[in-house]
Amino acid sequence: MCGIFGISIKREHALNFPHWEIALRDLFLLSESRGKEAAGIAVATTDMLVVHKDSVSAGQMLKTDDYRLIMERARRGFFDTAATSTIAAIAHARLVTNGLQGIDANNQPVRRDDIVIIHNGIVVNVDEIWAELKPEGIEPRADVDTEVIAAMLQRSISAGTSLSQALRDAYAKIFGETSIAVLLKQHNVMLLGTNTGSLHYAISKTGSGFFFASEHLITKRLCNGDKAIPGFADATVVQLRAGMGAVLRLDTHEIETFPLADEPLAAPSVSPMLQIQRKIEDKAERYRDAMKAMRRCSRCLLPETMPFIAYDGDGVCNYCHNYKPWTKRPESEIAEYLEKHRSRDGSPDCIVAFSGGRDSSYGLHLLKQKYGMTPLCFSYDWGMVTDLARRNQARMCGQLGIEHIWISADIKQKRANIRANVSAWLKKPDLGMVPLFMAGDKQFFWYARDMIRGTGIKLSTFFTNRLEKTDFKTGFLGLRPVDAEMRNSPTTTSLSAKAQLFSTYGYRFLSNPRYLNRSLLDTAMAAVSYYGIEQDHLFMFDYLKWDEADINNTLISEYDWEIAPDTPSTWRIGDGTAPFYNFIYWSVAGFTEFDTFRSNQIREGMITREDAIAGLDAVNAPRWDAIREYTNLINIDFDEAVRTIDRIPKLYMQEK
């Protein structure tokens, strides 16, 4: 989360202007590790309250002319005059959660009339609080959740409520992680509050100086460590514990601490993220009865919420009736084909599209160990390849002695594109638009073609299997499921089907103008790469038996292949997006990709319906840590994203 800090000194403190500048610089730079998207500072004296903020990192802001002007005003207003006895500053290094940092009003410190506030954390129920304030004519002026705290304090203080009680009243409304510092123009005080304990402060022995920071280590280093501030030698670092508030008098540096609730909160036993997750899980318990009551196909697992599903008199769905069995081509053909391409001198003779997932890892094993090929692995990093996948790729290539080529996108740009689309989606949730989150990885096919051309290797192998049909994703767009050949061989898809798909997406784009964002060019490139390029790849599992147990056993026993700790399945664990979008489908429609995958396994006779349905809850369970990691990577507020998804009407709760 963000880094917040502040410093206040009286005239008699042993701090001259250069020391003041250095102290603030060190506080900024030490706090920057907690957030680099924006930075800001507020400086207050008896007759001055000035705020400056910038949508750059703290380190960059310190080098700007505007910041130097603020420091010059501080020097003239306090250090070069005897008119003011105290100067105080509060500042912020921002990790963006909500509110675009490019909009100045969303950055911190946030000023609302005579109140200036900095905030570390997330007010999860910000919309509900604004709804309560709106009848009184109190409305937001920006998108950042911090402003609602200032609005509540302003309302209470204007009504004559004491400062400590105003802080208590505000925290009584807040749900989420919240540590704050506040300056008030008409009151020579600084307010502090935290419900997590993420505030640590020190007061000099003489009482002439005070400062605080988000972390104990930062405060300690500035007291008697390598960044020691003059006058704070041997000062005691004090934690403002969870559930406590404080009023600091700036003229004396006397501090009054008080509980923010009638019973002081103990240090939280679970993180705010876990509190939200448990709240959602508790509510999910009420939904699970409805999920279990959903009608499902009597032959496979597909539920009544599946797009375009219909059941016959025996309860068998149309997907089962229309299913075409996976007819494996003779394995002898693949052996003969590979023999034609096998190199005689050990040079690479085939390109492997290597995601790091189980199928491509197993395929690499087969090519090298069974068929004696010399693969050249190719991976495209679009910012959502998991660390686990990277480790497994390293295991496979290292043990097999295979060269591995990475083509990396502009990761920061890619994640910014994902963030833009997920943010747009959260404003107007639409199951049909969920695939947009994954558009950025489709350039894989573009670069695969470039690899073939650049290396001169004519054989390109893929290890996708035909069981992984997820046509329900376009079904939620209102399009009847199309054959999986759209994925495997783009040119076989009719122009009319493509036109219908693109026009439907276009309509959804226009219905939510937030999709008209920085990612448009990347999305267009994805469409061209996925649907517009003719590629001739060899799909190995068209010839080979696909056996999930054998694949898992081989990878784990022979290569110490790593599995994810939060799911019993080995599928999709290399894809950082999958836990998030599957949580959406599960929460809203009551099923995920696993339902369709297991249903295809049932139809192929690979697994019984009883075994499949018995393990369904485990593989569909939300992967909370992975979801949180995803939201962190794209700078999306985990709490608000999960709560938004939770608020979407459930298809399995609708009246029939």
- Residues 79 and 137 occupy one common structural domain: yes
Q: What is the pLDDT of residue 79?
A: 80
Q: Which of 241, 259, 277 is the last residue of a domain?
A: 259
Q: At what angle do helices 272-293 and 624-633 cross, to 10 degrees?
A: 120
Q: Which amino acid is at 81?
A: T
Domain membership of residue 168 (yes or no) is yes
CA-based R_g, the chain, Å: 29
Where is average pLDDT lowest: 157-161, 359-363, 457-461, 525-529? 525-529
In the chain, the amino acid numbered 287 is: Y
Give the domain range for residue 378: 287-653
Domain check: are 210 and 311 in the same one?
Answer: no
Where do runs of H (alpha helix) occur along 516-603?
520-531, 548-559, 578-589, 593-603
Task: Give residue-wise pLDDT tens across range 404-438.
Answer: 877 778 778 889 999 999 999 999 999 999 998 98
Residue 270 lies in a domain: no
Relative to beta strand 38-45, strand 48-54 is antiparallel
Residues 309 and 235 in one domain: no
For 332-359, the DSSP string reads: HHHHHHHHHH--SSS---EEEE--SSHH
CA–CA gap between residue 637 and residue 643 (Å, rounded): 10
Among residues 239, 259, 279, which one ends one of the domains? 259
Among 652, 608, 654, 587, CA closest to 295: 652
The answer to whether residue 274 is domain-embedded is no
Side-chain-side CA neighbours of residue 439 (13 Å): 25
Tokens 């509900």 appear where?
A: 128
Q: Is residue 279 included in any domain, yes or no?
A: no
Q: Are residues 323 and 472 in the same domain?
A: yes
Total number of domains in the chain: 2
**First-to-final CA distance of the chain:** 44
State whether 296 and 229 are in the same domain.
no
Residue 114 located in a structural domain? yes
**CATH code, 250:** 3.60.20.10
Q: What's the pTM?
A: 0.59
For 144-167, b where at least 16 C-beta lie within 10 A, e where not — what string? bbbbbbbbbbbbbbeeeeebbebb
Q: What is the pLDDT of residues 125-178, one digit of tens each?
A: 788 899 999 999 999 888 788 899 999 999 999 999 999 999 999 999 887 668
pLDDT digits (tens, 9 = 90+) for 320-335: 999 988 888 888 898 8
Instruction: Note whether residue 318 is domain-resident.
Output: yes
* Cis peptide bond upstream of 109, omega within 30: yes
What is the Cα–Cα distance from 362 to 451, expressed in whole angstroms? 21
Confirm whether 272 is domain-assigned: no
The CATH number covering residue 315 comes to: 3.40.50.620
Whether residue 478 sits in one domain with residue 622 = yes
Cα–Cα distance for residue pair 142/127, rounded to 1 Å: 12
Judge if 157 and 40 occupy the same domain: yes
Query: Mean of the pLDDT values across residues 8-37?
Result: 82
* Residues 6 or more apart whose Cβ sits within 8 Å of residue 647: none
* Residue 459 sits in the same domain as residue 588: yes
252 and 295 inside one domain? no
Clarify whether residues 169 and 292 are in a common domain.
Answer: no
- Look at residues 259, 274, 308 and tell me which one is the last residue of a structural domain: 259
> Do 237 and 299 belong together in one domain?
no
- 112 and 148, same domain (yes or no): yes
Domain membership flag for residue 264: no
Rounded-to-integer distance, Cα 178 and Cα 275, Å: 14
Residue 37 pLDDT more than 60? yes
